[in-house]
Amino acid sequence: MPQSVNPMVEATSIQFKSNVKKALVDEQLQKALGNIKIGFVLNRKIASERLEEFEALRDRARDIKTHTIAHLDAYLEIYQQNVEASGGHVHWAQDDTEAREIILSICQSADAKTVTKGKSMIGEEIAINEHLEENGVEPIETDLGEYIIQLRGEAPSHIIAPACHVSKDQVADAFRETHTDLPEGRSLEEPDELLAEARAMLRDKFINADVGITGANFLIAETGTSVIVTNEGNGDLTQTLPKVHIALASIEKVVPTLEDTTTLLRVLARSATGQEMSSYTTFSTGPRRAADLDGPAEYHVVILDNGRTDLLAGNFSEMLRCIRCGACLNHCPVYNSIGGHAYGWVYPGPMGAVLTPGLMGLDEAADLPQASTLCGKCEEVCPVRIPLPSLLRRWRDQVYARDLGDWQTKWALKWWAVFAKRPALYHFFAGPKMRMLASWAKKQGHLKSIPSLKGWTNSRNFPAPQGKTFQQMWKEQKK
């Protein structure tokens, strides 16, 4: 029995800087982050290069999402009609509280004791597990990564590889601690032994669950279909075996047609893991039909807003194109330095740095859009071409306007601007200042410490200026 560890994970985005400090010295995390580069990054490159039309498909994928978002209310209504036509139910939730209540009440009417769960970022966002547990329903994560972090009482550190920060020894420890019927001498050293243990443990859970909750990668308006994409097959067992299936989705998951979904699927796995296609892509439409031998008797979809309509209204609609592939995380040098937990909530990396301030408030997450070099790698790999650096800048405009940044930087930039806007003044002061720095450096060619640039000189030398400024020398030369 996995013990019910209460994985109540408080959002810690507000203490981003101290999270970062911890992450940078966490040796296990640093080692784990190295795996992402050799795994996901290399595989995406191979997969994208061997499909001739990949770049053109990214354009198509972007256009499909842009079109859908521009007609979002219309497609959601068509979607709902078609779900209901196939015997399913659609529930609308404005925020996390409403979503939790809807899900709990479905579970309660099914008299549910245990609920199996496929991977769902919406589930993380609304903290559904905690709510079910508090109300006497046992939620069991079935995606291996999610299961591991549930046992460890943690939040995911990556949107498609939630336990990518955990080592195999830590997985073994988590199993030993929680699988109480594990024989004493049972070896859990090798990944395949861990796999066998997890498979055996979760089999029973699948069979005995009363309700299965999955996420949804797409909702198809044309047919009222929800789509899940997995590699493990856990989502399929989760939604096929129990008598009730609940799919959790947010408003921007809807797409017009099966064909549109197909285009998006052609870029999803390639961007995410570098697979040509994930192992299991499942299109579900309504509950079990009259003559079917298996499948859920009830089919529910919960559609969540939780701040997304504000993003739509507030100049962040491009973010709603996101299909949660994780490519921006995998390729982000900041994410690769600090991992997912430092971001302090369920969505890390560049997409999280744009989404989190929108969903939980900029006051709670002002560091996230600022902690980026705007290097543009995320936009380069995004399958739906979200201009992530531009969106980060849009948040920065608000950070500045609402005075949520640190005062030292703001003060320094203000003074810089005073000079930058007055060329004569600028050149008058720049010359002597640079000569002073150059003379401090003496013959070394660099400075080991500059009080006003401690952030730099704590870990790096500061190359000294050559002496005169270019403008001075140019003037002298022209004489």
Partner 1 sequence: MPNSSLNSGPKVGLFVTCLVDLMRPSIGFAAIKLLEHAGCHISVPESQTCCGQPAYNSGDTKNAKDIARLVVDAFEEFDYVVAPSGSCAGMIKEHYPKLFADDLDMTPRVYNLAQKTHELTSFLIDVMNMQDLDAKLDQKITYHDSCAGLRELGVKTQPRQLLAQVEGAELEEYEGAETCCGFGGTFCVKYSDISDHMVQKSVEALADTDAELVLGGDLGCLMNIQGKLSRLKDEGKATNLKATLKVRHIAEVLAGMADNASIGEPDG
Partner 2 sequence: MSARESILNKIGSALDNAGDKTARAATAAARIQTPPKNLIPARARVAPEDQVQMFRDWAEEVSATTDRVETLDDLPAALAGYLSSQNLPSEVKSSDDPILGHVDWAQLPTLTRKTGIAEETDTVGLAVAFAGIAETGTLVLHAAPENPTTLNFLPETHVVVLPRSRVTGDYEATWNRLRNELGTAPSNLPRVVNWITGPSRTGDIEQKIQLGIHGPRRLHIIIVDEA
Of 89-97, 228-236, 266-274, 447-455: span binding partner 1 (CB under 8 A) = 447-455
C-alpha to C-alpha distance for 302 and 125, rounded to whole angstroms:
13
Residues 365-394 that bind partner 2 (CB under 8 A): none
Select 269 or 386, whichever has its Cβ closest to partner 2.
269
Q: Which phi and psi (to 5°) does residue 281 adopt?
A: -115, 120
Distance CA 108, CA 136 (A): 10
As beta bridge partners, residue 254 has: 219
Q: Contact between 218 and partner 2 (CB under 8 A)?
A: no
SS (H, E, C) the chain: CCCCCCCCCCCCHHHHHHHHHHHHCCHHHHHHHHHHHHHHHHHHHHHHHCCCCHHHHHHHHHHHHHHHHHCHHHHHHHHHHHHHHCCCEEEEECCHHHHHHHHHHHHHHCCCCEEEECCCHHHHHCCHHHHHHHCCCEEEECCHHHHHHHHHCCCCCCCCCCCCCCCHHHHHHHHHHHCCCCCCCCCCCCHHHHHHHHHHHHHHHHHHCCEEEECCCEEECCCCEEEEEECCCHHHHHHHCCCEEEEEEEHHHEECCHHHHHHHHHHHHHHHCCCCCCCEEEEECCCCCCCCCCCCCEEEEEEECCCHHHHHHCCCHHHHHCCCCCHHHHHCCCHHHHCCHHHCCCCCHHHHHHHHHHHHCHHHCCHHHHCCCCCCHHHHHCCCCCCHHHHHHHHHHHHHHCCCCCHHHHHHHHHHHHHHCCHHHHHHHHHHHHHHHHHHCCCCCEECCCHHHHHHHCCCCEECCCCCCHHHHHHHHHC
Using the contact rule CB under 8 A, the part of the chain among 204-212, 242-250, 271-279, 391-399 near partner 1 is 391-399
471 binds, options partner 1, partner 2, none, Cβ within 5 to 8 A by partner type: partner 1
CB of 149 to partner 2, least distance (A): 10
Q: CB of 427: closest distance to partner 2 in angstroms?
A: 46
Beta carbon of residue 249, minimum distance to partner 1 (angstroms, whole number): 33
Which of partner 1, partner 2, none is residue 380 near (CB under 5 to 8 Å by kind)? partner 1
In the list partner 2, partner 1, none, the entry touching 233 (Cβ below 5 to 8 angstroms by class) is partner 2
Residue 460 interacts with which of partner 2, partner 1, none, CB < 5 to 8 Å by class = partner 1
In the complex, least distance from residue 124 CB atom to partner 2, rounded to whole angstroms: 16
**Stretch touching partner 2 by CB under 8 A, among 55-63, 349-357, 426-434, 443-451:** 55-63
Does 184 interact with partner 2 (rule: CB under 8 A)? no
92 binds partner 2 (CB under 8 A): yes
371 contacts which partner out of partner 2, partner 1, none, CB within 5 to 8 A by kind? Answer: partner 1
Determine if 31 is a binding residue for partner 1 (CB under 8 A).
Answer: no
Q: Out of partner 1, partner 2, none, which partner does residue 49 contact, by CB within 5 to 8 A per kind?
A: none
Residues 238 to 267: which contact partner 2 by CB under 8 A?
A: 240-241, 251, 256-260, 262-263, 265-266
470 is a site residue for partner 1 (CB under 8 A)? yes
| Least distance CB 206 / partner 2 (angstroms) | 8
Contacts to partner 2 from residues 96-115, by CB under 8 A: 98
Residue 471 binds partner 1 (CB under 8 A): yes
Of 168 and 186, nearer to partner 2 (C-beta) is 168
The residue within the footprint of partner 2, chosen from 30, 66, 280, 461 (CB under 8 A), is 280
Task: Based on the shown chain and the rule CB under 8 A, indicate whether residue 332 belongs to the binding site for partner 2.
Answer: no
* Least gap, CB of 64 to partner 2 (angstroms): 9
Contact 32, 167 (CB under 8 A): yes
226 touches partner 2 by CB under 8 A: no
User: Rule CB under 8 A: is residue 143 a binding residue for partner 1?
Assistant: no
161 binds partner 2 (CB under 8 A): yes
Dist. CA 116–CA 100, nearest whole Å: 16
Binders of partner 1 in range 409-438 (CB under 8 A) = 409-410, 413-414, 416-417, 419-421, 423, 426-427, 430, 434
Look at residue 225 and give the partner it binds from partner 2, partner 1, none, a contact being a CB closer than 5 to 8 Å depending on partner kind. partner 2
How many whole angstroms separate alpha carbon 346 and alpha carbon 360? 11
Residue 393 Cβ vs partner 2, minimum distance, rounded to whole Å = 21
Is position 203 an interface residue for partner 1 (rule: CB under 8 A)? no
**Would you count residue 203 as binding partner 2 (CB under 8 A)?**
yes
**Cα dihedral 176→182→183→184 (10° resolution):** 20
Q: Could you tell me the sign of the dihedral formed by the alpha carbons of 53, 58, 59, 64, in that order? A: positive
- For the chain, the maximum distance between any two Cα atoms, rounded to a whole number of angstroms, is 96
Confirm or reject binding of residue 163 to partner 2 (CB under 8 A). yes
In whole angstroms, give the CA distance from residue 396 to residue 353. 11
| Footprint of partner 1 (CB under 8 A) | 17, 20-21, 24, 333-334, 337-338, 370-377, 379-380, 390, 393, 395-401, 405-406, 409-410, 413-414, 416-417, 419-421, 423, 426-427, 430, 434, 443-446, 448, 453-456, 458-466, 468-471, 473-475
